[in-house]
Amino acid sequence: MDEALIIHGGKPLRGDIPVNTAKNSALYLILAALLTPEEVVLKDIPKLRDVIAISEMLEHFGAEVSWKGRNLHIKAEHILTCSAPYQLVSRMRASFVAIGALLGRCGDAKMSMPGGCAFGPRPVDRHIKAFKALGVEVLEEDGDFIFKREKPLEGRAIFEAPTVGGTQNVLLASAIGEGTVVIENAALEPEIPDLANMLNAMGAKIRGAGTSVITIEGVPYLKGITYRPIPDRIEAGTLILAIAATRGKARLVDVDSSHMNALMIKLSEAGVAFEEGDGTLTVDATRSLGPVDVVAVEYPGIATDLQAPFGAFLSTIPGVSHVEDHVYPDRFTHIEELKHTGADFELNERTLKIEGGTLHGAKMQAADIRAGGALIVAALAAHGTSVITGLQFIERGYENIAGRLQGLGADIHRSEVALVATGTYGD
């Protein structure tokens, strides 16, 4: 038996739903707690598989980690090892950013090649080049990377292309010390200033986060802090697309709509209306909607993590739409599963053509986090019953998604099902 989401679709989503704090921030804020021996408290953290995995990694390093309600308490008074074994690193890509925290706290680190979702090449060479440029010795031994610094990091790290993980890695490695580091062509994503803001509250001296040039002046010590991450723009975007796909009207609470301007502009072109409030965003998709063309790019454009859910939404709109992903051009493995709903997809080189129409319930299997989000969006819009397996991927990025969507009137629940082939599911 396997656990699955059972969704009886075709019901417009209505009501209010709170947005969780950002997983893609929380993971790196947790790693930042390694930079101080004092206690760090992170507030309102979703209990996702990825969060639990990175917490277990910190415990491996020697940190004390505990939950009090939804607050995560971390105290890394003693670091027992600066080596991360494969069984921990292989669970997700974010683990590679532990290198920066370990270099900052210990001066050395040993790390296997990271794992994570499989949707094309995601090289770490940009991280390695940046560290070498700052004076870090990098060795490769039996598939492991070994990082050593003899003195505080100093110099310029110039990325050939913006990288969120690479920028975060350098921030963590450079916050403690006597040197000055400049990051050029830094990533612009909101998770970068969120990490910098937390580090600055701990005593770091970081300027320019959120721009392409970031300057870090190393300090001798960082203190403990209580901090709340930014709202999760990817979860919020997935919820917006689900509301739109079901032609619903609902309000997101505890959201920062400024992080989703590109998404909202494109959805407005399709006919979706928005009303922004103080930390709220009302989504109205009750009017007639039309097809649009979408390109996923680096922030402030439409996030690659929303490319798959956006395509699922477009499959519900009569007419022809197109989707491209300039961040991960091969990130279209989910379309074969979505085809089981009757969605008409045609992949020409790296452009996805979508002929939208009415979807029907189907059996589908998620193969990565955001593909899982796309399957949920399609199933909520589809007429009939859908069964979605692969919850181990979905639960890496969406906390209690069934229970929370129930609050919007969705007919969705978790259940054990026999392992079955994907395909059409009838009413």
Residue 358, burial from CB neighbour count under 10 angstroms (0-12, 13-18, 19+): middle
- CB count in 10 Å sphere of residue 67: 13
Cβ atoms 27, 58 nearer than 8 A: no
What is the pLDDT at residue 116? 47
Tens of pLDDT, residue by residue over 100-156, are 999 999 999 999 877 545 444 446 889 999 999 999 999 988 878 999 999 999 999
For the range 145-148, what are the long-range contacts, defined as Cβ-Cβ under 8 Å and sequence gap of 24 or more? 145/99, 145/110, 145/111, 145/112, 145/113, 146/108, 146/109, 146/110, 147/99, 147/102, 147/103, 147/108, 147/109, 147/110, 147/111, 148/107, 148/108
What is the pLDDT at residue 420? 55
For residue 121, give its domain range: 23-227
Q: Which residue has the higher pLDDT, 142 or 389?
A: 389
Domain boundary among 227, 250, 277: 227
Query: Do 187 and 296 reside in the same domain of the chain?
Result: no
Cβ atoms 8, 362 nearer than 8 A: no
Cβ atoms 136, 149 nearer than 8 A: yes
Query: Do 215 and 275 reside in the same domain of the chain?
Result: no
Residue 80, burial from CB neighbour count under 10 angstroms (0-12, 13-18, 19+): exposed
Position 404 pLDDT exceeds 80: yes
Query: Do 244 and 257 reside in the same domain of the chain?
Result: yes
CATH number at residue 379: 3.65.10.10
Query: Do 58 and 115 reside in the same domain of the chain?
Result: yes
**Catalytic residue list:** 117
Q: How many domains does the chain divide into?
A: 2
Query: Do 250 and 340 reside in the same domain of the chain?
Result: yes
Query: Do 130 and 250 reside in the same domain of the chain?
Result: no
Position 409 pLDDT exceeds 90: yes
Contacts of 52 (CB under 8 A, 6+ apart): none
CA distances from 153 to 96, 130, 172 (A): 18, 11, 11
Tens of pLDDT, residue by residue over 283-335, are 999 999 999 999 999 999 999 999 999 999 999 999 999 999 999 999 999 99
Q: How far apart are CA 170 and CA 179, in angstroms?
A: 13
**Sorting pLDDT into bands at 50, 70 and 90, what band is 426?**
very low
**What pTM was computed for the model?**
0.95
Query: Do 356 and 407 reside in the same domain of the chain?
Result: yes
CA distances from 29 to 74, 169, 180 (A): 11, 12, 22
Query: Do 86 and 174 reside in the same domain of the chain?
Result: yes
Residue 278, burial from CB neighbour count under 10 angstroms (0-12, 13-18, 19+): exposed
By three-state DSSP, how is residue 328 classified? coil
Q: How far apart are CA 51 and CA 58, in angstroms?
A: 11
What is the pLDDT at residue 94? 79
3-state per-residue secondary structure call for 46-96: CCCHHHHHHHHHHHHHCCEEEEECCEEEEECCCCCCCEECHHHHCCCHHHH
Query: Do 418 and 316 reside in the same domain of the chain?
Result: yes
Contacts of 11 (CB under 8 A, 6+ apart): 246, 380, 409, 410, 411
Cβ atoms 4, 387 nearer than 8 A: yes
For residue 267, give the H/E element and its range.
helix 261-270
DSSP 113: P
How large is the average pLDDT for residues 154-166? 96
What letter represents residue 156's amino acid?
R
Domain boundary among 211, 227, 243: 227
Q: How far apart are CA 388 and CA 399, in angstroms?
A: 16
Domain boundary among 194, 227, 260: 227
- CB count in 10 Å sphere of residue 217: 15
User: The tokens of 178 are what?
Assistant: 């006597």
How large is the average pLDDT for residues 394-398? 95
Q: How far apart are CA 180 and CA 208, in angstroms?
A: 14
Tens of pLDDT, residue by residue over 49-94, are 999 999 999 999 999 999 999 999 999 999 999 998 888 888 787 7
Query: Do 320 and 342 reside in the same domain of the chain?
Result: yes
Query: Do 256 and 321 reside in the same domain of the chain?
Result: yes
SS3 content of the chain, % helix, strand, coil (to 5): 35, 30, 35
For residue 346, give the H/E element and its range.
strand 344-348
What is the pLDDT at residue 119? 45
What is the pLDDT at residue 182? 98
